[in-house]
Chains A and B, each alone.
Chain A
Amino acid sequence: MSQYTSTGIHGLDFLLNGGFPAGASILIEGLPGTGKTNLSMQFLYNGAVQYDEPGIYITFEELPGQLYKEMKAFGWDIPALERENKLRVLCISPQVLLEQMERQNGLFEQMIQEMDCKRIVIDSISLFQIGDDSVEIKRKTLYKLRNILRKFNLTALLIQEQTAAIDPEVSYINYVVDGVIRLSLKDFKEHYRQRTLEVLKMRGRKIVEGEHIYRITDEGIQLLPAFSMVEDKSHLYESNTVTTGIAKLDQLLDGGIPHGSAFIIDTNSKANYKYLAASIAVNRLLAGESLIILLSSLSTINDIEFLYELYGVNLKEYVEKKKIFFIEHYNRPSPPGFEGAIIDVSNLDNDEYRKIIVNGLEPFTHSTLNPEEKWFVYYDLNTIVSQRGKAFLETFYAEEISRLNSAGFSVLSLSNFTELGPQLSSFVERTSNGVIKTWVEGSYQYVQLLKSPLGKMSSPLLVENINKKPFINLI
């Protein structure tokens, strides 16, 4: 027996890692007009047509005749499926239903067996929660209802009407059921409303968290899972990626950061990005690439030497092999042995700096005399902004990324989008193939992949500090 029941709604099955747990009771909650009936009927219709799983739609208030007409708009001929005994729209009162469900060989049991019913929808469960009965009796009623559905191994959708946009109390039904799906209508760009679906709970299934947009189309509900962006074809078939050294990040990036791509780490002032950046840079060195690092005011060569040593990289050895160079904006003394690897730009104005970067690096990059040599550039954009100004970054960055990319260089830029401002950060983001955001919120640090060449995004991942390479773990 299958462990899950496919809904046949592609985006939803993706969120549910295949479908609902078989035999589970799932609450579908939402305000009027969010599409609860459509979604539930689509679940039954697809069950009957695609999966040979007959279903029953129980309606307490809406008349079946009306539902037949509404569903016809999606091309679903419900009466035809009723004639084939694959679907049935049952019109009944909550009390009559419960009585028949409780009764041994009652009408409910007879119908389930007669149809070999596998799926059921109850529209709506809210009617069990109103009335004069005490809260305790109502709870027992819902608990009994769920147990009966479970006894018959029915995968059940229980529709619940939300009466307000924000429900301050989580209904006790949420604890009784195996899963909760919330449908919402939200304001979008002033004049529009956007429908979103969120799986709040699903026992026994791995789910994709977050709010996902859906539309009610001529063919029913179509859901587009969030974090699925358009693939960047220019990098899609580029198999020679380099590991970031962080397993989860590699998994999201399908192996690592591709050669010739430009990535951004967007960090806030509290977040510790050094292990993230160091792990990526060190692994480029270990993969045989050469490295150019634009030093920030906060990181000296000694700091970097110490940090890279933690990853098993002796910086001096790479300096001697002319595999690493530093761009220094600050008038700081060179550590012994590093003199030949430092490009001092501390006293240069922007024009001179630009010339040095465009022309001045060539002797270094060409000094290896190996046309196959791959280069990786680590930029600290905050340093460029503080030393060269935002206007310089705006004109320089796109040109620089374009130049480096065309030469086959890979680039990792550290930035603080909040400090750059919305316009400049948006520009920098557009120029990049990938964006990794890290920030601190409350007592936790998070990392989120916001953009990648393969179009993948991630949910916010928690950062765990560990005492071995790469010193961070993403959860």
Chain B
Amino acid sequence: MLQFNPLKVECTLFFEENPYTLETAEGLALRLGRKTAELVLILEHLVTDSILEKIGDGEQAIYRYVQPDNFQIPREFIWE
């Protein structure tokens, strides 16, 4: 069920559009306009899916985007 969570999509899109984001859950909540507690669950799931990388632990843990393999492929060849 979590697979189709709109917040997960929103979060993934955020990192896709802003790929060099290094942020705590609280910082991301602020940028997305969401509640930190709800976002933490989604972020953990994205880490499990290898979409995000988590650096550190606790409230100060930082999340960053794991660039997909196709990142090196010229844009015109990527289906959007």
Contact = CB atoms under 8 A, between A and B. Distances in A.
Nearest to A84: B72
Interface stretch (A87-95, A267-275, A342-350): A87-95
Given A96-B62, A107-B55, A107-B62, A90 B20 contact: yes
Interface in B1-29: 17-24, 27
B62 A91 contact: no
Interface string A170-190: 000000000000000000000
B7 to A, nearest CB: 18
A220 interface: no
Contacts of B75: 79-80
Contact of B23 (A65, A89, A91): A91
B19 A96 contact: no
Interface residues on A, range: 10 to 19
A63 B30 CA distance: 12
A338 to B, nearest CB: 83
Contacts of B23: 91-93, 96
Contacts of A89: 18, 20
Interface residues of B, number: 18
A88 B22 CA distance: 12
A82 B19 contact: yes
Contact of A83 (B18, B64, B71): B71
Nearest to B55: A107
Given A96-B62, A107-B62, A83 B72 contact: yes
Main SS at interface, chain A:
helix
Interface string B57-80: 000101010000001101100000
Contacts of B18: 63-65, 89, 91
Contacts of A219: none
A107 B62 CA distance: 10
Contact of B22 (A65, A83, A91): A91
Contacts of A38: none
Q: Which of A63, A79, A88, A92 has the most CB of B within 10 A?
A: A92
A107 B55 CA distance: 9
B60 to A, nearest CB: 7
A99 B23 CA distance: 12
A92 B18 CA distance: 11
A64 B20 contact: yes
A100 interface: yes
Contacts of A88: 20
Given A79-B75, A107-B55, A96 B20 contact: no
Contacts of B21: 64, 90-92
Contacts of A97: 22
Interface of B: 17-24, 27, 31, 55, 60, 62, 64, 71-72, 74-75
7 shortest interchain CB distances as A-B pairs: A65-B17, A91-B21, A64-B18, A93-B27, A92-B22, A90-B20, A91-B18
Interface of A: 63-65, 79-80, 82-83, 88-93, 96-97, 99-100, 107
